[in-house]
Amino acid sequence: MTVLQLADDGEAADLAAFLSRLLHYDRAAAVRLQAAGTTLAVFGRPPSFEVLAVRTARLAKPYEDGLDVTLDVTVSAGELLESLDEDAATAVVPSAVTGPPWAGVLPPRGGWRRAEPGLPGSDGLRALVAACVAEFRSRTAGLAPEERTRGALDRIGREIWSRDVGGTRLPLRALHAAQSLGFLRPPARPAAGEDTVLLVSGPWLRLRTPYGSVAVRPVSGPAGLGVLDVSVR
């Protein structure tokens, strides 16, 4: 049995919140865990948004389990959440599961640079998400009862959330995912350099916030294998 010792109860609470949000969208969600040094990265893919989400947590001491100094395993998100003890700041790594296809297709480890043009701050991004939600509600409310089918609602949603943010290639669904997963909330202690940043590496885009990252590959074609740099939330 592998037990992870998180840095404090705050890290445990944040990780529990992230897992709970993933399970809200998929009760059978799986997550890929990677730990190296004092950083644990948890990758998930909420199906409603078609993006890859990652939340990191600090460990109390460098990861080491016998002769292994790194951890890389796909597990049940529900079992991981059940194993979390927020008061003790510990988590038991569940047994490995057969990972979904996305778990083997992650963004590259390095080569990330700031994208141009960039993005507005998190306040502006939250306002943009709110405007899109209001547009969706207005357009669906305008449908006749017989037209308000699941297919019609899905088409309107895809049309809105597939739009790009400003002059970037980042789809609005990435902002929607970040907002829904709690990544776009105002920072508890505002500090320089802690706002949202748009990064690019090859065809991949990553929206990085103080609370987590959302990565998308907005171009078609086979995706490369790799590992998202776990040193950045």
Which regions of the chain carry the CATH code 3.10.150?
3-104
Q: What is the structure's pLDDT at 108?
A: 83
Q: What is the structure's pLDDT at 224?
A: 37
Q: What is the structure's pLDDT at 21?
A: 95
Q: What is the structure's pLDDT at 48?
A: 84
**Residues 104-161: tens digit of each pLDDT:** 888 887 899 999 888 888 889 999 999 999 999 999 999 999 999 999 999 999 999 9
Task: Provide the percentage of residues in the chain whose pLDDT is more than 90.
Answer: 71
| Interacting residues of 125 by C-beta distance below 8 A, sequence separation 6+ | 119, 165, 175, 178, 179, 184, 196
Query: How far apart, in Å, are the Cα atoms of 117 and each of 61, 91, 170, 208, 214?
Result: 39, 40, 11, 15, 18
pLDDT classification of 219: cutoffs 50, 70, 90: low
pLDDT classification of 193: cutoffs 50, 70, 90: low
Q: What is the structure's pLDDT at 118?
A: 84
**Residues 51-105: tens digit of each pLDDT:** 999 999 999 999 988 878 999 999 999 999 999 999 999 999 999 999 899 998 8
Fold observed for domain 3-104: DNA Polymerase III; Chain A, domain 2 (3.10.150)
- pTM, 2 dp: 0.86
